[in-house]
Structure 1
Amino acid sequence: MTTTFPTAAPSALGIDAGGVDRFLDALESTPGVEPHSIVLLRHGQVAAAGWWHPYAEDRVHLLYSLSKSFTAAAVGIAVREGLIDLDATALSYFPELDAEITDERSRRIRVRHLLAMASGHREEALDRARAADPDDLVRGFLLTPPDEEPGSVFAYNQPCTYTLGAIVRRVSGGTLVDYLRPRLLDPLGIDDLAWRRDETGAELGFSGCYAPTWAIARLGQLYLQRGVWDGERILDEDWVAQATSTQVENPGEENPDWSQGYGFQFWMARHGYRGDGAYGQFCVVLPEQDVVLALTGQSLDMQAVLDAAWQHLLPALDAVDVDAAADAGLEARLASLGLPPVAGGRLPEHLAEVSLRSRPGGILDAVTFARDGDGIRMTVTDDGRSDSVPLGEGRWAVDGALAASAATEPDGTVRVALRFVETPHLLHLRLDLDRGTVGAKWGTEPLHDGPMTLRRPAD
């Protein structure tokens, strides 16, 4: 099942294409920001959509904490179906733990407190919960006493969302994806969505969701439409109202768009509200402008992404002077977006016969090369697993979940950029052919995967 949005010229939707262009300029030029995709919807129509090669429209992308908003949607649907009560305690869904959980504050944590990151803990409790029970994160979390009364303080807390996912699994008798498939994913036309699981087989809930950019846009549009899709109510209007308004204050957060309050796994912002994930995964909803902005990327400075949106994109909505002539230029630019490949000299011919060992403590165990038609194919190995990709010279070569570009520096060192194109991540390799070694450095550090598991999980 596929649901596509109609496409309209930006000017037909009251959007100045020049402002979108300036937003793209900012994304491409701001230090600490690297865009991978953009989808801009207005009035339920596509005003702009593009992917920076080697990222592509038909690929999933690791969403990191934007996964939380999909977990929350599952809770909202279960609330609508009468399977979950927002005012029930978390403990009530795990009666087998009742005798063990003796702390009164832990016993008073309600579902709505989990949704609002207001469990009463003053700071992230993931490590403490895992220490309390390495095999059962829900039990470990409930055995970690809150510092304050639940509902009174905000702390971004991964076990809150993990417990929400566990509650959905408990009341539905299946996985999160199984529950969401007929209730959310199929109705919204989200064909591909997978979730990283922990050692127990449970979806992480707070992270690990892989989905295309269109899935992000569709989830945002569902909330913008207050829970209705194609005339079918999927989320209760009251749920949407609570999820997208401040349930707990968080003025202590450092960045301005992270200190405007928190809803149900959504951040309030200076404009509208959003779900987001590490390294620049965004679902921004602007109800006043009837706009959804979906972004993926590898961005260390996520506040800079939002600053650019408010500076350039927001004024382009309902601009006084809309230049229809700029529409065509923006369309052409969106069709030709790309991340720069590695620049430098040609690869040495003898590279095809080289095998390199990692330096002590390196990220990879080994890197080998072989002739591949007119080019060279690189194989990377770590922890007993291997994968390979052609090396693109002056371009990105893509194979499966990997993309690579390589060039030779004046001193003979070969540089390779290895992208894991179903995730935000980039690995920089420096090949010392004389010494037979390879050095590796992450562009951004993966939060819960190694190099050979940075890909869509199997269903």
Structure 2
Amino acid sequence: MLLRHGHVVAEGWWSPYRPELPHMLFSLSKSFTATAIGLAVSEQLLSLEDKVVSFFPDESPAEPGDNLSQMNISHLLMMGTGHTMDTMTDMLQSHEGNWVRAFLQLPVEEVPGTYFLYNTGATYMLSAILQKVTNQTLLEYLGPRLFTPLGIKDPTWESCPRGINIGGYGLNLTTEDIAKFGQLYLQQGQWNNRQILSREWVAAASSKQIANGDGSPDSGEWSQGYGYQFWNCRHGAFRADGAFCQLCIVMPEQDAVVVITSGTNDTQQVMDAVWELLLPAMKSAPLLQEEPSAVADLAAQLSTLQIEPPRCIQSSSLESSMSAQVYKLEANELDIDTLEVSFSGDEAVLTIQEKSGRQSLVFGREKWTANTANIIPNPSGANAIMASFTWAAEDKLQMTMQLVETPFCITEEITVKEKSIQLTHSFNVTMGPNEPVTLAGYLIE
């Protein structure tokens, strides 16, 4: 979505993605968490100078040390806690799910405020502090103060084992919801003639609070400085940013907002395209006269955006012999015990027996078919999935699952042998190494 001067200039979703579907925001959630802190500051529920340990006397070390003792809310906001390693790994593995205690027990090697480290655990602590002082989750607190005024409906947010919204990730909103959030910051906290968020907070959150690189134009988008859970960008812009290129770019000099929900590991390339293609066209001169033909051409192009299902070989002679056969898989990290595929007309049903239960998905023959299933964790329930199959070769069945409320696309390739199969499972994007998982299976007779 592209907004300029408060109006939507262009918007498009690649089908089977749709505008009404919520989307996993990953770390773009952090900017919403910071906004809650800004609101709490305005309500005098806390101050940025408040020490972190003061909120959690029972979870803090008996002798916290100088650096931990100095750490305050502003240090959490600016990712300047003094840690030299992200704290989330230890928090996720913490005893009895006490993430707060795990955070506070870790060594703080540097003086807070002097060392930048992107630290998702710091954002979680902001959520925990807010819940401590308000007795509400982030989601509950932001409801009447942010989500309702902006017309954001049915947001969901993942929680830790102790019921605290994760803060650093886990928020799910539509693309338009993110655009509203960006527009609120562009309008310096004002919405429908009401000052929802203070101008002072917007200025502080979007300004450089700590250095995270040399700041040179050639060093990319991760070294221009960091605010309060917002990244500074080139060209006077700032952004909320989530994994796999979930972006809310606010461009004050151009009075514009660019929002992108996607599934790629190359965020820099996408940002470069914004600067190279969109920015030069944003003239400071008075609005141009609308050209009906150009408007019609753009509307036509946007209306036909789609991700085509893979199309290789439409069918295989193996369908009849493979159909409804059950294959036992070797012990594997995916926890899949058995697999079977049944063909009927232009549909294939994949049934998987896992430790957690049995699931079936319907795949259209070289077309998308709608499903719901529990593939990855989702706070609002099962995943919405569009699924399609084709044959990559006479003996290789290719099954594609587009998880349309996430950046993820999963591909299952099943190579069929006489009494065995080989299953190759792959994601389009992952947080770590992205090597496909290959498993062997044999026919249960």
TM-based fold match above 0.5: yes
For 2:246, the equivalent position in structure 1 comes to 281
* 1:337 equivalenced with 2:302 (yes/no): no
* Cα offset, 1:428, TM superposition: 1.2
Larger deviation: 385-394 or 189-198?
Answer: 385-394
The 5-angstrom pairing of residues 295-334 of structure 1 reads 295-318=260-283, 324=291, 325-334=293-302
- CA deviation vs aligned residue, 1:254-301 (integer Å, no higher than 9, x gap): 951110000000000003000111101001000011111110111111
Larger deviation: 171-180 or 347-356?
Answer: 347-356
* 1:391 equivalenced with 2:374 (yes/no): no
* 1:439 equivalenced with 2:432 (yes/no): no
Q: How many Å separate the matches in 1 of 2:33 and 2:357?
A: 31
* 1:135 equivalenced with 2:132 (yes/no): no
For 1:22, the equivalent position in structure 2 comes to none
CA 276–385 in structure 1, closer or farther in 2 if over 3 Å, else same = farther
For 1:183, the equivalent position in structure 2 comes to 145
Q: Is 1:246–1:261's contact at 8 Å kept on the other side of the alignment?
A: yes
Q: How many Å separate the matches in 1 of 2:412 and 2:352?
A: 11
For 2:213, the aligned partner's letter is P
For 1:355, the equivalent position in structure 2 comes to 326
* 1:375 equivalenced with 2:343 (yes/no): no
TM-score by length of structure 2 reads 0.86
Q: Is 1:367–1:438's contact at 8 Å kept on the other side of the alignment?
A: no
- CA deviation vs aligned residue, 1:388-420 (integer Å, no higher than 9, x gap): 432122222222311112111233211111122
Q: What secondary structure sits across from 2:12 in the alignment?
A: strand
Q: Is 2:241–2:248's contact at 8 Å kept on the other side of the alignment?
A: yes
For 2:222, the aligned partner's letter is W
Q: How many Å separate the matches in 1 of 2:258 and 2:326?
A: 45
* 1:199 equivalenced with 2:161 (yes/no): yes
Q: What secondary structure sits across from 1:311 in the alignment?
A: helix
* Cα offset, 1:200, TM superposition: 2.1
Q: What secondary structure sits across from 1:122 in the alignment?
A: coil
Q: Quick one: which of 218, 221, 224 aligns to 1:257?
A: 221
For 1:392, the aligned partner's letter is G
CA 186–251 in structure 1, closer or farther in 2 if over 3 Å, else same = same
Stretches of structure 1 that go unaligned for 5 or more consecutive residues are 1-38, 448-459
Larger deviation: 81-90 or 362-371?
Answer: 362-371
Q: How many Å separate the matches in 2 of 1:388 and 1:251?
A: 48
Q: Which has the higher contact order (CA 8 A, sep 6+)?
A: 1
Q: Is 1:358–1:364's contact at 8 Å kept on the other side of the alignment?
A: no
For 2:233, the equivalent position in structure 1 comes to 269
For 1:166, the equivalent position in structure 2 comes to 128
For 1:419, the equivalent position in structure 2 comes to 402
Alignment coverage as a number of residue pairs: 409
- CA deviation vs aligned residue, 1:183-227 (integer Å, no higher than 9, x gap): 111110111211122222222111111111111111111111111
Q: How many Å separate the matches in 2 of 1:101 and 1:296?
A: 44
- CA deviation vs aligned residue, 1:290-328 (integer Å, no higher than 9, x gap): 111110111111100101111111112128888823221
Q: How many Å separate the matches in 2 of 1:403 and 1:48?
A: 25
Q: What secondary structure sits across from 1:355 in the alignment?
A: strand
CA 382–311 in structure 1, closer or farther in 2 if over 3 Å, else same = farther
* Cα offset, 1:383, TM superposition: 3.6
* Cα offset, 1:149, TM superposition: 0.9
Structure with bigger gyration radius: 2
For 1:194, the aligned partner's letter is T
CA 227–386 in structure 1, closer or farther in 2 if over 3 Å, else same = farther
Q: How many Å separate the matches in 1 of 2:63 and 2:172?
A: 34
Q: How many Å separate the matches in 2 of 1:438 and 1:394?
A: 20
Larger deviation: 310-319 or 289-298?
Answer: 310-319
Q: What secondary structure sits across from 1:96 in the alignment?
A: coil
For 1:261, the aligned partner's letter is G
Q: Let me know the Cα RMSD of the aligned residues.
A: 2.3
* Cα offset, 1:232, TM superposition: 1.8
* Cα offset, 1:235, TM superposition: 1.1
- CA deviation vs aligned residue, 1:125-179 (integer Å, no higher than 9, x gap): 2234556756322222122122111111110001100000101111111221111
For 1:305, the aligned partner's letter is V
CA 229–352 in structure 1, closer or farther in 2 if over 3 Å, else same = farther
* 1:428 equivalenced with 2:411 (yes/no): yes
- CA deviation vs aligned residue, 1:65-107 (integer Å, no higher than 9, x gap): 1111111111111111111211111112223235635211101
Q: Is 1:356–1:437's contact at 8 Å kept on the other side of the alignment?
A: no
Q: What secondary structure sits across from 1:427 in the alignment?
A: strand
Stretches of structure 2 that go unaligned for 5 or more consecutive residues are 373-383, 433-445
For 1:270, the aligned partner's letter is R
Larger deviation: 428-437 or 219-228?
Answer: 428-437
Q: Is 1:398–1:404's contact at 8 Å kept on the other side of the alignment?
A: yes
* Cα offset, 1:55, TM superposition: 1.0
Q: How many Å separate the matches in 2 of 1:101 and 1:252?
A: 36
Q: How many Å separate the matches in 1 of 2:349 and 2:274?
A: 40
* Cα offset, 1:363, TM superposition: 2.9
Larger deviation: 348-357 or 414-423?
Answer: 348-357
TM-score by length of structure 1 reads 0.83
For 1:331, the aligned partner's letter is A
* Cα offset, 1:421, TM superposition: 1.4
The 5-angstrom pairing of residues 236-251 of structure 1 reads 236-251=198-213
Q: How many Å separate the matches in 1 of 2:393 and 2:140?
A: 54
Q: What secondary structure sits across from 2:58 in the alignment?
A: helix
CA 308–383 in structure 1, closer or farther in 2 if over 3 Å, else same = farther
Q: How many Å separate the matches in 1 of 2:165 and 2:355?
A: 23
What is the identity percentage for the equivalent residue pairs of Structure 1 and Structure 2? 36
For 2:385, the equivalent position in structure 1 comes to 402
Q: Is 2:346–2:365's contact at 8 Å kept on the other side of the alignment?
A: no
